[in-house]
Structure 1
Amino acid sequence: MDSKEEEYFKGRGAQLNPNNKFFGQSYVQEYIEGLDEPFLTSDSTKFIATYPKAILSKVDSPDIGFYQSLNPYQGCEHGCIYCYARNSHEYWGYSAGLDFERKILVKYNAVELLEKEFDRKGYIPEPVFMSGNTDCYQPIERKLGITRQLLNTFLTYKHPVSIISKNVLMLRDLDILAALAELGLVSVSVTINSLREEVRRKMEPRTATATARLKLIEKLAEKNIPVSLMIAPIVPGINSDEMPALIKYAADAGARWASYTIVRLNGAIANIFRDWVYKNYPAGAEKIIHGIEACHGGKLNDSKWGRRIRGDGETAEGIRQLFKIAVRKYMGQETYPVLRTDLFERPNRDMQLRLF
């Protein structure tokens, strides 16, 4: 086997496990001849039970478009190489690289905490964004069903919720999503950033195909569930040319509006992505890196609100114009729906007990 093949972790996005910046010391293998056997590492995914004290996170970024988010899982087995949530894994004592994909923290008390928050005296309902950090429909959800229970809680309390995902497991919950949609309480964004299978397999190794995600959009639209396309992220030199086709196919499937982000490589993600791009696109790696830098003032990341998501400069402006033209041509002027907050109600616990 070629040495390069030996170094590549198939089925994973990150190809290294960098040191957590919060750790002053870490174990590394520097001299293989000094060990009887190499460092033992596990390629399997581990699921770690957690029981946080709160489940809703306040968001104070004015360019995000939502004010509170809910993430039943921390870390994500989808393994998307660009994921900004990788950095947050370091706060839990893990690496933003392979650990992010192989050590998934499960919030087993998520439903209990959400009910407790909704029952809190003085709680004022405002839309909750699910998957603001990591995908609520990642593979382990098929077994645990925490997201489905959470959606049922939103329906019980008639509370608005928005969801973003790239996993067709969402089809399992069409019944609850349709009931929420009938009340004007839900919107869904489906993320697709390439129609080319070779790009998806490299960039998002454990996700559904673009064809399957377009089918998800179609099924959601058939149930009158407001659904949009999120093209995220655009990476100049890899998928920036696909925007018009993505918007057309999504519109044909029933997506009502679209949005996009330009990749930004903040924190530990910069080195993880750089390693990945040289291994997967060796001939074009420099051009891809420079294309990203061109969108962020010569850097791989720009944290300034407003500018960080859409980028700046000629390359970013070209992407913005291409997006506007494609949306105008294929989708028209429809925008994000305003979800209702006036229906919120707490269930009658005494009535529930009598029913049982």
Structure 2
Amino acid sequence: MKIAVDAMGGDYAPDEIVKGVELARDAYSDLEFLLYGQKTKVQPLLQDQTRITLVDAPEVIAMGDEPVRAVRRKKNSSIVLAATAVKEGQADAFFSAGNTGAVLTAGLLIVGRIKGVERPGLTTTLPVLRKLDQSSFVMLDVGANADTKPFSVIQYAVMGQYYAQSVMHVDNPRIGLLNNGTEADKGDQDHRAIHDALAQMPELNFVGNVESRELLNGAADVVVTDGFTGNATLKAIEGTALSMLKLIKGEIMSGGLGGKIGAGLLRPVFHNVKAAMDYSQYGGAVLLGLKAPVVKTHGSTKAPTVKNTIGQIRELLKAQSVQQLGSYFDQHAEQMATIKETLK
């Protein structure tokens, strides 16, 4: 299995990207890498090129570049060349920590959608904090589409199910619809229609509406929503976690010597809490619905997360989840058309 990697994307690129790729190479003997980046900057960082091919990409799409314009104009950038390698069959998946909009645009315009998928959804894995058998859940869309039609949310449920089965190894994942209440008649007209459509799909283990306050308590294995709401929810979770940690630290520092001694004794507890909230341990965000895995990690990603994300991509490739999704939408084209018509 071969993965095309954008070496120039991210706050700590190319150093941390190269380190992460080498960690993944050493951990997974069945992977090869096409590493795209400015050769003069990347080559000196490589300690061992075993199963790593460095491809010169003289242009860089910066974090501040307008995504569509950059993808169309910077043909020799690491993002465009890596996505093109996937399109042309030279690689099986594309990974980047760079400009999110450019990665999504390259995925859509270059790699392309699975036949039958209207809008790919950006998927992330978040922790479950209660001490249950379930340690995490999947949520999509978390930002690929600000304007989302109800039919796309139905397709997210199907894609999320396959992702939970192939990467999280959940046999019969529970699908929940993010809403402002758990009752079937909650929400606006679109949410009620989505709820009723999902409830009529026997191939899905739909458990109904879930509220945002219950997400980290394991309300479902897969949570589906529109891209605007999903992105806002994700940022609210991130912001709350960071604010709580800062609040605790501030109270400790202002608590005098006794507070600092107590904090020292509780250091392992604080470490465990911080680790539990760190969803980067699960890898990156996957743009589901494309002809090959396209995975984006946070711009501040460092080598361990790069390695974890590549492990996540490996699971996707081993499970052939893209092929399975393609087969599903081929076989259920008539059912999808009927649902789409009903939601109009």
TM-score by length of 1: 0.26
More helix by share: 2
Structure with greater contact order relative to length (CA < 8 Å, sep ≥ 6): 2
